[in-house]
Chains A and B, each alone.
Chain A
Amino acid sequence: MKNLRNEMILASAGSGKTYRLTNRFVHLLALGVSPERIIALTFTRKAAAEFLDEILKKLSTAASNPGFATELRDQLELENFGSTEALKLLRLVIDRLHLLTLGTLDSFFHRILACFPAEFGLGAKFEVLSDHDAIAARARVFASVYANRTTEDEFIEAFKKSTFGSEEKNLQSILDDFVTSHHQTYLRQPNPSRWGRKETIWPGSAPWLEPRSTPEEACRHLRAATAGFHLDKKALAMWEGLLDFLEHLPGAQKSKPSDTTLERFLLAYTKAMRGGPVDLKFNRSPFTLPPDLCASLADLGHHYLAFKINPYLERTQGIHQILRIFEDTYGQQIRRAGMLGFLDIRLLLNGTLLSENWHQELSACGGEGKLHVDYRLDGKFDHWLLDEFQDTSNDQWQVIANLIDEVLQDSGGQRSLFYVGDVKQAIFGWCGGDSALFNDIRNHYNSRRPDCIATEQMQDSRRSGPALMETINRIFGDTATLRSLFPDHEEFLQRWEADWVPHTTHHQDRSDYVELLTLDEDPESEESSKERGFAAVAALVAEIAPHEQNLSCAILVRTNDDALELANTIRARTDVPVTVESDTLIGSDHPIASSFVSLLQSAAHPGDTTAWRHVLMTPAFAAHPCQEHGSLQRRIQRRVLTTIHDSGFGATFALWLDLLAQGGFVPDEFARHRIDQLRQSAEDFDADGNRSIADFIRTIESAASREAPAEGVVQIMTVHKSKGLGFDVVILPDFTAERNVKSITSPGILSLVAHQSGVGLHREIDWVLKMPNKDVCLADPTLLEARQKLENERAYEELCVLYVALTRAKYATHILCVPPKMASDPDATPKGSTREILHTTLKQDSGVGAARTLGEEVLTRVYALGHPDWHHTHRGTRPAPKQETRIPPVHQRRPFPPIPRALPSSGADDAHAEKQGSHFLFSRRSREAANHGTKLHAVFERIDWLDHLTPSTLEETVLTGLDPADPSQSALREEILTALRAPAILALFQRTRFGPDPTLWREKRFEIIHEGSWVSGTFDRVVLTAEEAWILDFKTNRVSTPGEIAAAAESYKSQLAVYRHALSRLTGVAPENIHTHLIFTKPAVLV
C-alpha cells in the first residue's frame, strides 16, 4: 500500500464534503485496507448512516456500471479499479457490516467506556441518563446535600455569597439554575483559584485595585474646583449628589444617582484614565475637568469600580463553593454509581474527572499505563475519518487526541487522519464546538513535521446555482460592509476574512433565484408582524406548491416554537402538507395528555383541587352530578392507583381513554395520532417498573416526539437542524424581535477559554467571573477584552447561522422579514442583526421597492437575483413517492394451530386456587408442605409392589434414606407408614390384587387434547390389566375429619375425570373400567 497523506479539508457548504469522505473510504478499501480498520466519526447518527449509504451506493453503482467505475478510478487515482473490484469491495463491506465503526463521537466514547468501566471508577454497568433522569438525579443530589449536616453551614454561607445575600425565595430554582448553567464549567475548571479571584483575573494588578487617594481626598479636590465649572442649580445638585454618593460608598445607596449619571461618570473615568481632559455634561450644562483633576476623578472611579466588581467576585466564589458541594455529592452518588450524561463520559475518558494518579491514556496498543482500546473494542483503527470537525469540542478532542497522535506520529505511512469541515458553519459553539481546533491541529503537527497534514479548500458548490452563489459572495465576501456593521469587532471580521474564499458553482448554467422581501409594520393591524409574516409565508408556500411540482422545500426558522406556530399557520391556511422537524412535547401540548396528567396528580394528591377539577371538566365527568363529585373522587382514585400498580401507566392511560369515551369523546385523527404516541411513551416508562406518579408526570411532560417524516411535505425546521441538508427551495422567514448580536444581555457566568501558548492543543479555562454590567466592563480593560471576545464569538456564530441558512437551497431562496430598524432610521446604531446584514449587503438600485403580494399581505422586494420562473425549466429533485408496501395473503393453514394449555388440576379445583394466594405463596409452612409433598411422591415412586410387606422390607425398599432422627424426615416416614398400614391402601400396592401380570406405571407423564385444550399431566401411579385400570393419586392435604376429606375429594373430581379420560385414550381401556383413587396420606384414607 502506498503512503497515505493526512489531510484537512475545508469544504464550503454544498461543495461535496460527504462525497470526498466517501471517496476517501473507498480509496482506502481499494488500497487493501480492511473496513474494520477505518473509523469514521461524525456528529449525528443520521449523518453516519448517510455516510454508509453513500459508500454502498458508490460501490454498488461502480459494480454494475463500468463507466462509473472508471470515473471513480480516475477520481481516486487508482491503477486497477473496475466493476469487478468494486463488487469485491461491496461484498467485503457488506460481510463486515457489523465490524464497521461508522458512528458518532459520543457513541464511540460510550463504547470505549463500556469496555473499561473499572478503569474509570465505575461498577460493572453504567447507564446514560435521559434528560428527565438527569433532572431527577439532580433533585436527589440536592436532597442529599440538604440532609448533610456536616456541609450545611458551609452551604448556607456559599449560597448567601453566591446571591450576595439578596435571594431567599425560590431557592431551588436558583440552585437549579446554577447547576444547569455552570456545572459543566465547574467540571472543566474546578480550581477555586480560577473562580472570582482578583489575582487570577488581573494577575499584574489593575488600576482600580490601587487608588492613590481616598474617596474623601478625591472628592475634596473635585469639590474645591466645582465653583469654576459654572453649573446651573440642577446640574450642580446632580454633580454634588454624585460626589456624595461616591464618597460614601458603599453606604450611600439611598442617594444613588440615576443609572445614566453613573454610566456617564464611568465614561468620564475611562477618559480620565487616559489623562484627560474630560468633558462632562449634567442637565445640559457642559463642563471640562482639567487633567490635574482627572486623577481625582480616576481615583473615585477606582473606588466605584471596586464597589461594583467586588460583589461579582464574591458571588462567583460563592457559586464555585455551591458547585463544589454539589459536585462532591453528584460524583459520589450519581456518576460513580454509573449514571452518566454524555458530557460525563467525555470528561471521564479525557481524564478531567479522575485524579491524575488514576487516569490512564487511551491507546491503540496498550502498554505501560495505557488502556488497550483496540483489544477490548475488537477493532484496530488505522485510518481516522472525522466529519464536521468544526463542531468538535475540546472535551471530545481530548478523548481521541492520544489515539490520533499515535496515528500522526506513525511515519510508516500506513495510518492516516482525514478530517473535514467548514468553520463557516460552526453553529454549535453554544454547546461546546470549538472551530479553532480545526487549524490548531494542523498547525501543531505541521510545526513538528512539515506537511504532516496537507490542506485543501473546496469552494465549488455542487448544490446551488449561480444566483445563489453570487448572493452568498455578496453577503459574506463584502467585508467592507460587514465592517461598517461591526465597527468594534475587528477580531471576528479578521477571522471571517481569513476563512472566506469566494464561492463558485458547479452548475454555472442553472437558472436559480434569490429574493429578499420585507413586510412593513402595520400599526393598524390587530395581528402581530409575526402572524402577518407567517400568513405571507403560507401564501408563498401555496404559490410554490412544492408538493405538486415534486420539489423538496424547507422553511428554516430559529426556534422550535416558531416552527410549530408556522406549521399550524400553514395547515390552517393552505392544503400544502407540512411537517415539523423538531421535537414536540407530546405530554404537555394537548388536552388528552394534560388531563391524564391531572387524573394521575389528583390520584396521588387528592388535595390538588386544580387537578381534580380539571378532570371533572373533561368529557369523562363533565356531566356527572356535582353532588357526587366527592364519592366519585374516592372511587376514581382507588381505581387509578390500582391500575397503575397492577398494570402500569400505559394501561392507566387506556383506562382514561375508556372513561373519556364513555363521556362521549370521539378522538379525531390528530387525537388518535397523539394517543398512540402517548400510549407508547407510557409503556416505555412502564418497562422500568417504576410506578412513581411524580416521576411519570415529569417524564411524560418532557416526552418529546418528532413528527414522523412524511412524503411530499414541506419541512419546517430550525437552521441548526438543516445543517448538512439540501433542498430545492428554501424559505427563510424572520419576523421575531431583531437580535442584537453585539449585546450580551444575560450571560450568566462569563467563562473564558484561553489558548495557552507552548502547550499545543491544550485548552483550559483561565478564570471565571459572573459578568458585571456592560458599563463596568467598558471601564476595565480586562473585562472589556473578555466581553469583546464573547461578542466576537457570538457575532461569528450568528454569521455562521446565516451562512448555513443561505446555503441550503439548490434552486431558490426566499427571505422574508420585517425591515431592520436602521432601514427606517439611518442614525440608528447597527445591532449586527442578520436583517441588517442582508439589507446592507444586498442593497440594490434596481428592483427596489417592487411590490410582491402574498395572500393578503403586500411585501417589498428589496433584492432579487436570477430567474423567478426557474421552476419552469427544472423538474424537482425530490424522489417520486414510493409505492405503499403490502404483504400478500397466504392461504395455507397449519393443521394444528397452537391452543391454550391446561393443567388437569386447574379449573374447578379450589385447592389450586388456594395455592395461588399470597397466604400460601409467602408462607414458610406452605413451602414446607410443598417440599413434604414432593418428597412423599418421590418415596411412593420408589415403591414397586408390597405383596410381602415386612418391617424390614419396607425399611429397605421404601424408607431407605429417610433418617428417623431427623424430625422432618421422621414425620414423612410416619405418614407413609401410617398410610401403608391402612389395609385398603396397602391392597392397592399388592400385585396379587390385580391378577397375573399387571403393568405398573409410576410418575408417568401424558399429553392429550381435551375439550379444545392441550392437557399435560402426570399419573402418580397406574396399574393396568388387559381389561381394567386403576389410577392412584397421592394427596398430602392436612385433612382429618370425614367432612374435610369429603370436601377435598370433591375438589379433585374434575382432575380425576381428566385422568380417567386420558388413560382411556392412552390405553384403550374403556372409561368405565378405569378406577380412580385418591390416597389422603395424612389420615391414611382411600377415597
Chain B
Amino acid sequence: MPTTRRFLDWNRPVLELAAERLLAGTTPPVLDLGHLLVVVPTKNAGRRLREMLAHLAAREGRAICPPQVVPPEFLLSLISGPDDGRAASPEEALLAWVTVLQKIHLDDFPALFPVPPANRDFQWALGTARSLNDLRNTLAEGGLSIAGTCELLAESLEEAARWEDLARLEAEFVATLRQNDREDLLTRRQANRQSPQLPAGITAIRVIACPDPIPLAIEVLEHLGEQLPLEVWVHAPGSLADAFDSWGRPIPEAWAQRRIEFPGGELPVHVLPGPDAQAALVAGAIPDGDTPSAVVSIGILDDEVTGPLRRLLEKDGRPPFDPGGTPLRSEGVLHLLRVLRELLEKKGIEAFAMLLRCPDFDAYLAKTLPQWNAVEALRVLDSSRRKHLFADLPSLQGWFARPGGNTASSLTGALEVTGQFLARLGQQPLTTSLLDGLRDLLGSRPSSADPRPARVQQTVSEAMVPLLEAVEGPIGTSLKLRASDLFALLLATLEQETLYEERRPGSIELLGWLELHWDEAPHLMVTGFNEGFVPESLTGDIYLPEGLRKRLAELTRFPTNESRLARDTYLFEALLQCRRDGGRVDFCLGRHSRGGDPLRPSRLLFLCADEDLPDRVRTLFRDAPLPRGNLAWTPGFELQPFPGNPPPYAPKTLSVTAFREYLSSPFTFYLRRVEGMETVPDDPQELDALGFGNFCHEVLRQFGAHPEARESSDAAQIRKFFRDRVDELAVKTFGFHPPLPVRIQLDGIRARLDQAAEVQARSRADGWRIIKSEYQLDNPPFVLKGVELHARIDRIDEHEKTGAVRVLDYKTSDKAVKPETAHWTKVTKGTKLDWVPEYARFSIDSKNFRWKDLQLPLYRLMLKSEYGDAIECAYFTLPKAVEETAILPFTELGPSECTHAQNCAEGIIKDIRERRFWPAPSPKAKDEFHRLHLGAPLKTFNLAPMNSPRPVHEKPAE
C-alpha cells in the first residue's frame, strides 16, 4: 500500500492543525481514535497532541479516546522480536561489554587501545563499555553494526585497523551475550527489520511533522506502510512538496539555498551581551495578566539562560515548566549514593562525616539510636579528628572501640551503626542488600509536603529495576561485582536519568529546539539562538567523524550535518510561517557566554537574500548594547556584636595569656574571648601550631614532674627520657601508625627535644633544679581589680647554690624570640599608636615602649608572695633552628617594669569590663576571622557597641 503525503499548510501551528485533522477523522457517537498509531517527533509533542485533542473534545463537551501517539524510537520495539525474555536489555548489553573489556588482552587490540589505561579497573571498563555501546547504538539507528560498517565501506575505510579491532570486539560482545543465553537486541532488530509487529487494534498510521526520524524507524514504517494505510503529514504548503522526501524529511539540497524572509521585513533578532541579559529581556516581555502562558512560550537553546530565567520567572510568580526535565545527577540522593560508594571503596573519614550530614542517614540514626544527637556527634568527630588526626574510618572506629573508649556518645553509636550498615551492603546477594539498604535509609525520613523528594525516589527506583534485573541475570552474576562496583554501576546509570517535573497552573513553557515546532503559543521567544546550539552540528566524534558519516549517508540513511541543517532550516522557517498571520517569534542571541567566551549568531539567521547579507552580518555581529553600570562595593549589612543582647561581659577570671591577646588586638580579643570563637579545620591531617606546642609541652611536663629524670645533668639520659615520652605519647595520641605528616612532625619534635636535652643538661649542671612543673597558680588566687588571674607556669627552677628562683616558659614557635622582644616594643616615630591605649605605653630612661605581652611580669607579681621579689624570668626556646635552642633570661625585667605591667593589666581589665574592644589595629590579611571582617571591620561591623569613649590619650613624649 503506497504511503500518502499530506501537506498541512504552515499558516497555523502544527499542533492545532494535526489535532483538528485527527478529530475530523472520528465518527460519532464516540470520539475514538484508538485504531490509529500516530508518530510524532518527541514524547512531549505526543503529550501536547493528546492534550490538544482533549481540549478540542472538551470544547464540544466531550472526552476522547486518543490514538496511540509515539515517538519514532518506539517503532524499533516493533522489530525487537517476541517478549521471550531472551533479548538483552540495554543494561545487560552494557554489562556484556564490561565483561568483554575485563576479559580481553588489550595487546590483541593495538589499534583500539594503543596505550594501556592507567587503571584497568571496573570504572575504566564501564566508561569504555558505554562509549562502545553508544557507537553501536548510533550505527544501529542507521541499520548498521560495526562489522556491517566495515563490510560496507571495505577498503575505503580510514583507520581500518582500528575498525577491525572494533569489529572483533563486537564479535566478542555478541558471543558473550550468547554464552549467557541472551540475544543481541540490535541483531534481532536487524533480523526483524522487514517484519514489524504492530500493536493490536491498530489499523492505520499517521506520521505527523517528523522532519528527522531515525533511519531504522523509517525502514520500519516502509514495511508497515505495506500492511495498512499510512499517511505522512508534512507541516508545509503543498507548493513545497519537492522540498521533502516521501517521509516528510526536508531534502538537504532543497533547503541548502533556502532564503527565509522575516514577517513584515522586520528582523526580530535581539543581540545581547550574555545569558543574563537574554533572560532579563525575555522575562520582561512576558505580559501581565492571569494567564501569560496563553500568549508566551520560551525556547531555551543555551542552558546558561535557564538559571537566570527561572529565577526571574519565579520571582515574578510565573512558574517555569521544562518538559525536558532536569538531570537526576544533580539530586541529593545521588550524593548519598556517592558517599556510600566512597565509604565502601576507600573508607574515608571525610565520607563518613558527609554521611552523618545526610538527612536520610541522620533520620536512620535517629530511628536506630535512642539518644542520637547529630550536633554532638559532629562536634565530637571534629574535636577527636583534630586531636588524633585519624587517617581513615577504621582508625576512628578503632579509637572509639578501644577499651575505655567513650561508649556513650552519639558518635560511638553512629560508628557502630555505620559499620553495620556498610557490612550489610556488602552481603550477598548484593542487589537485595542494596535494595533493603536503600529502603531502610530512604524510608527513615517522614514524607514531606514537597512532592519532589518522592518523585526523585520514584525515578531512582524505576531506573534501578532493569539494572538490578540485569545484575541478577546470568551476565551480571558472572561478573562477580563487588559492592562498590554495583554502586559505580548504579551511579553511572542514574546519572543518565532525567527527573521530570509536573506542570503547575499557569506555567510558562521552557522548550528545547525540537519541541518548539509543536508549541502553538502566539508569541515564541527563543533564547540562545547562537551557532553551536542551532543548527545542530556534530564534530569530533572519536569513532564517527563527519567524513565517515557522509560516506555512510551515501550508502544508507545515516544522518549528517547537512541533513540536520536542512531539518533545522525547515523548523526555523516553520516557526516563523505559522505565526505570520497571528503571532510573533523573537530570537535572542548572546555575544558572550557567562564565562566571557564569545558566541556567534546562528547561521540560520543569515538565510536571507544575498543583497541583504552584508547588512545582516553587520547587524548581527555588532557589539551588544551594554548596561550602564556603576555599582560601588557596599557591605549590605553590618555584623552586630554581642548578638542576642547577652549580659555584660564581666569575667571573674582571666588567664595571663589573655592580656597578650588584648594587647595584640582588642578586636581579636573580643572575637576570641568574648564571643568564644574557635575555628574548626575541615580535614585536619597534621598537628597545628597549638597541637605541636602542646605535644612538646606535655613531654616537658612529664620530664619536670619526674623526680629522677629532672635531676639528671646527662644530656644522653635526658634525651632518652624525652624520646621515650615522645614515643609513648605518640602511640597514645595517634596509635601505632601515625599519619605520614604527623610522623614528620614527630621527627621535628624529637630533633627539638634532643637539643633541649643538651640545654637542660647544661642548666642542671649549672646548678638549676626544677622545683615545680606545670604549676597551677590559683591557690590562693591572684586578684587584680577584682579579677582572678589564672596561670599555669611551665616550670620553676631553683639554683641549688644561690637559692635563686627562676620562672621558665617553654616556647616552641619556629623562631627563637627573646623575652624582651616578645613583651615590649620600642615606640619610634613611625610606630602607629592610634589604637594603643595609654596604659599600654611606658618609658624607661626617656625611651618610650609599648607592651605586647605581660606574661612574665605578671608571673613575677603572682609569685611574689611565694618567692619574693627577686625572681628571674626566662624563656626556654625550642625553635626550628635547633642550634638556637637556649634558655633566654629576661634580664631587663625589673620591679619598675613589673609595676608598669600591672598598670597595663589593670587598664585592660577596666577596658574589658567596659566592653571596649575598638579601636584596634587593622586585622592581618587572611587571619582566622577574615570571613567576618573581610579585612575592613570599620565597614563590616557595627563597632559602636564596642567603642565606648575612652579618655583622650596624650601623645607619648618624643
B632 within 8 A of A: yes
Which of B55, B270, B383 counts the most chain A CB atoms within 10 A?
B55
Residue of A nearest to B745 (CB): A168
Nearest A residue to B112, CB-CB: A118
- Determine if B594 and A123 form an interchain contact, defined as CB atoms under 8 angstroms apart: no
Residue of A94, A125, A253, A624 touching B131 (CB-CB under 8 A): A125
Instruction: Report how far A167 CA is from B745 CA in the complex, Å.
Output: 8
Task: Give the interface segment out of A459-467, A486-494, A689-697.
Answer: A689-697
Taking the closest CB of chain B, its distance from the CB of A315, in whole angstroms, is 15
Contact pattern, A 919-937, Cβ under 8 Å of B = 1, otherwise 0: 1011110010000000000
Determine how close the nearest CB of chain A comes to the CB of B794; give it in whole angstroms.
20
Q: List 20 A-B contacts (CB under 8 A).
A: A57-B617, A169-B692, A171-B745, A605-B378, A614-B639, A625-B645, A628-B644, A645-B357, A665-B636, A709-B626, A713-B628, A881-B625, A885-B281, A886-B281, A895-B55, A898-B509, A899-B505, A916-B458, A1007-B64, A1008-B64
- Chain A residues with CB under 8 Å of B686's CB are 170-172
> Are the C-beta atoms of A924 and B454 separated by less than 8 Å?
no
B895 within 8 Å of A (CB atoms): no
Set B375, B537, B928: member contacting A98, Cβ < 8 A:
B537
Interface residues of A in 632-691 (CB under 8 A from B): 633-634, 637-638, 641-642, 644-648, 660, 665, 667-671, 673-674, 676, 679-680, 683-684, 686-691
Q: Does B740 touch A at the CB level, under 8 Å?
A: yes
Q: Is B626 within 8 A of A927, CB to CB?
A: no
B591-635 CB contact bits vs A (8 Å, 1 = yes)?
000101110100100100010011101100101111111111111
Which residue of A168, A616, A669, A890 is within 8 Å of B749 (Cβ)? A168
Please tell me if the beta carbons of B378 and A606 are within 8 angstroms of each other in the complex.
Answer: yes
Pairwise interchain contact A916-B457, C-beta atoms closer than 8 A: yes
Chain B, range 347-367, C-beta contacts under 8 Å to A: 348, 350, 353-354, 357-360, 362
Tell me if A1067 and B30 are in contact (CB < 8 A): yes
Q: Is B295 an interface residue (CB 8 A)?
A: yes
- Contact present for B630 and A577 (CB under 8 Å): yes
Comparing B240-248, B676-684, B767-775, the segment that makes contact with chain A is B676-684
Selected contact of B633 from candidates A254, A670, A884, CB within 8 Å: A670
Asked whether A917 lies within 8 Å of B928 as measured between CB atoms, the reply is: no
B307's partner among A90, A170, A337, A680 (CB-CB below 8 A) is A680
A1061 to chain B, nearest CB (A): 8
A882 within 8 A of B: yes
Q: Are A124 and B883 in contact (CB under 8 A)?
A: no
CA distance A605 to B744 in the complex (A): 28
Taking a contact as CB atoms under 8 Å apart, the answer to whether A898 and B613 are in contact is no
How many Å from the CB of A293 to the closest CB on chain B?
A: 31
Chain B 299-322 against A: per-residue CB contact (8 Å), 1 yes, 0 no? 000000001100100000000010
Are A253 and B743 neighbours in the complex by a CB distance under 8 Å?
Answer: no
Say yes or no: B542 contacts A887, CB within 8 Å: no
* B932 adjacent to chain A (CB < 8 Å): yes
What are the residues of chain B within 8 A of A172 when measuring CB–CB? 685-686, 741
Per-residue CB contact flags for chain A residues 606-626 toward chain B (1 = under 8 Å, else 0) read 111111011011110111111
Most B CB atoms within 10 A — which of A122, A899, A1008? A899
Which one of A153-161, A392-400, A424-432, A816-824 is at the interface?
Answer: A153-161
The reply to whether B636 and A590 contact each other, CB–CB distance below 8 Å, is yes
Q: Give the contacts of A13-57 with B (CB-CB under 8 A).
A: 45-46, 48-49, 52-53, 56-57
Q: Are B582 and A378 in contact (CB under 8 A)?
A: no
Contacts A577-B629, A1004-B65 known; 18 new A-B pairs at CB < 8 A: A57-B618, A64-B614, A121-B117, A124-B542, A253-B883, A617-B643, A622-B644, A648-B330, A706-B596, A708-B273, A886-B285, A887-B281, A890-B296, A894-B295, A901-B51, A921-B442, A1007-B63, A1008-B57
B330 touching A56 by the CB < 8 A rule?
no
Of A109-117, A445-453, A501-509, A970-978, the one with at least 4 CB within 8 A of chain B: A109-117
| Known A-B contacts A63-B614, A94-B617, A890-B583; A707 and B503 likewise in contact (beta carbons under 8 Å) | no
In the complex the two chains form, what is the Cα distance from A611 to B374 in whole Å? 17
B455-473 near A? 1/0 per residue, CB < 8 Å: 1011011001100000000
Asked if B345 CB lies within 8 Å of chain A CBs, one says no
In the docked arrangement, what's the CA distance between A1006 and B50, Å?
9
Residues A897 and B294 in contact, CB atoms below 8 Å apart: yes
**Known pairs A117-B542, A376-B545; A670 contacts B631 (CB<8 A):** yes
Point out the residue from A46, A98, A609 that lies within 8 Å of B675, measured CB to CB: A609
Q: Is B824 close to A, CB under 8 A? A: no
A870 within 8 A of B: no
Segment of B1-9, B87-95, B521-529, B903-911 in the binding face: B521-529
> Is the CB–CB distance between A885 and B270 below 8 Å?
yes
Q: Does A178 contact B (CB under 8 A)?
A: no
Is B30 touching A1066 in the complex (CB atoms < 8 A)? Answer: yes
Residues of A in contact (CB 8 Å), total 201
In the complex formed, the residue of B with least CB distance to A644 is B332
Q: B744–A591 contact, CB under 8 A?
A: no
In the bound complex, do residue B293 and residue A898 qualify as a contact, i.e. CB atoms below 8 Å apart? yes
CB B698 to nearest CB in A, in angstroms, measures: 17
Q: Which residues of A contact B618 (CB under 8 A)?
A: 57, 60
- A668 → B minimal CB distance (Å): 6
Contact of B523 among A143, A641, A691, A890 (CB under 8 A): A890
Contact, CB under 8 Å: A377 / B545: yes
In the assembled complex, which residues on chain B have CB atoms less than 8 Å from the CB atom of A1012?
505
CB atoms of B443 and A689 under 8 A apart: no
Contact, CB under 8 Å: B114 / A892: no
**Interchain CA distance A660-B637 in the complex, whole Å:** 10
Among A45, A253, A332, chain B packs the most CB atoms within 10 A around the CB of A45
A623 touches which one: B114, B336, B621, B644 (CB < 8 A)? B644
**What distance in Å separates the Cβ of A973 from its nearest Cβ neighbour in chain B?**
19
Please name the residue on chain B nearest to A923 by beta carbon. B439
Question: Interface SS of chain A: helix, strand, loop or mixed?
Answer: helix
Judging by beta carbons under 8 Å apart, are B375 and A168 in contact? no
Is A167 a contact partner of B880 (Cβ separation < 8 A)?
yes
Q: Is the CB of B644 within 8 A of A375?
A: no
Nearest chain B CB to A331 CB, angstrom units: 7
Q: In the complex where A376-B545, A897-B293 touch, is A921 in contact with B644 (Cβ < 8 A)? A: no
CB neighbors of B among A340-390 (8 A): 354, 358, 360, 366, 372, 375-378
B747 CB contact (under 8 Å) in A53, A97, A156: A156
- Contact B521 A688, beta carbon cutoff 8 Å: no
Q: How far is the CB of B356 from chain A (nearest CB, A)?
A: 9
A876 in contact (CB, < 8 A):
no
Collect the chain A residues with CB atoms within 8 Å of residue B448's CB.
646
Determine the distance from Cα of A605 to Cα of B274 in the docked complex, in whole angstroms: 38
Asked if A890 meets B596 with Cβ closer than 8 Å, knowing A918-B439, A1066-B62, the reply is no
**Contact in complex: A610, B928 (CB < 8 Å):** yes
Residues 868-901 of A, flagged 1 when their CB comes within 8 A of B and 0 if not, give: 0000000000010111111111111111111111
B117 A336 Cβ-Cβ under 8 A: yes
Q: How far is the CA of A1039 from the CA of B57 in the complex (A)?
A: 38
Stretch in contact with the other chain, from A205-213, A592-600, A740-748, A952-960: A592-600
CA distance A116 to B542 in the complex (A): 7
Determine whether the beta carbon of B645 is less than 8 Å from that of A115.
no
Asked if A120 CB lies within 8 Å of chain B CBs, one says: yes
Which of A111, A125, A924 is close to B540, meaning CB atoms less than 8 Å apart? A111
Give the residues in chain A near B382, CB-CB below 8 Å. Answer: 605, 607-608
Interface segment, A144-152, A180-188, A724-732? Answer: A144-152
Q: Does B934 contact A (CB under 8 A)?
A: yes
| CB nearest neighbor in B for A664 | B637
Q: Are A1066 and B63 in contact (CB under 8 A)?
A: yes
Is the Cβ of A694 less than 8 Å from the Cβ of B683?
A: yes
A604 & B740 in contact (Cβ 8 Å cutoff): no
Residues 133-150 of chain A: 1 if any B CB is under 8 Å from the residue's CB, otherwise 0? 000000100110111000
Instruction: Decide: B643 and A622 in contact? CB cutoff 8 A.
Output: yes
* Contact pattern, B 112-144, Cβ under 8 Å of A = 1, otherwise 0: 111111110000100110110000000000000
Question: When A and B form their complex, which 4 residue pairs have the shortest distance between CB atoms, in order from nearest?
Answer: A168-B748, A336-B118, A626-B644, A49-B598
Q: Are B636 and A668 in contact (CB under 8 A)?
A: yes
Q: Does B66 contact A (CB under 8 A)?
A: yes
